Structure 1
Amino acid sequence: MTKLLIWRHGNTDWNAARRVQGQSDVALNDLGRRQAAEAAPLLAALRPGRIWSSDLSRARDTAAALAAVTGLPVRTDARLRERHFGDWQGLHLTEIAERHPEAHARWRAGDPDPGCGVESLDVLGKRIGSALQEIAEAAAGETIVVATHGGAARQACGYLLGWDPSVLSTIGPMHNCHWAELHHEADRGWRLQAYNAGRLVSGAPAEAV
Structure 2
Amino acid sequence: MVSILVVRHGQTAWSLSGQHTGATDVPLTAEGEAQARALAPVLAGRRTCLVLSSPRTRARRTAELAGLADAAPLQLDDDLAEWDYGGYEGRTTAQISEELGRPWSVWHDGVVPGDTPGETVQQVAVRARTVLDRAATAVREAGGDDAADVVLIAHGHFLRVLAACWLGLSPTAGALFALDAGTWSELGHEHGRPVLRRWNVPAAL
TM over 0.5: yes
Listed as ranges, the matches of 1:31-180 within 5 Å are 31-67=31-67, 72-101=72-101, 105-107=103-105, 110-111=107-108, 113-117=109-113, 118-140=118-140, 141-164=147-170, 167-171=173-177, 173-180=178-185
CA-atom RMSD, angstroms?
A: 2.5
SS at match of 1:67: coil
One-letter amino acid matched to 1:191: V
Deviates more, 1:24-33 or 1:38-47: 38-47
One-letter amino acid matched to 1:116: V
SS at match of 2:67: helix
SS at match of 1:169: helix
SS at match of 1:128: helix
State the match for 1:204 in structure 2: none
How many residues are paired up?
195
Contact 2:38 2:204 (8 Å CA) reproduced: no
- % identity of equivalent residues: 28
Matched, 1:183 2:181: no
TM-score (norm 2): 0.83
- Which segments of 5 or more consecutive residues in structure 1 lack a partner in the other structure? 202-209
TM-score (norm 1): 0.81
How far apart in 2 are the matches of 1:93 and 1:80? 23
State the match for 1:6 in structure 2: 6
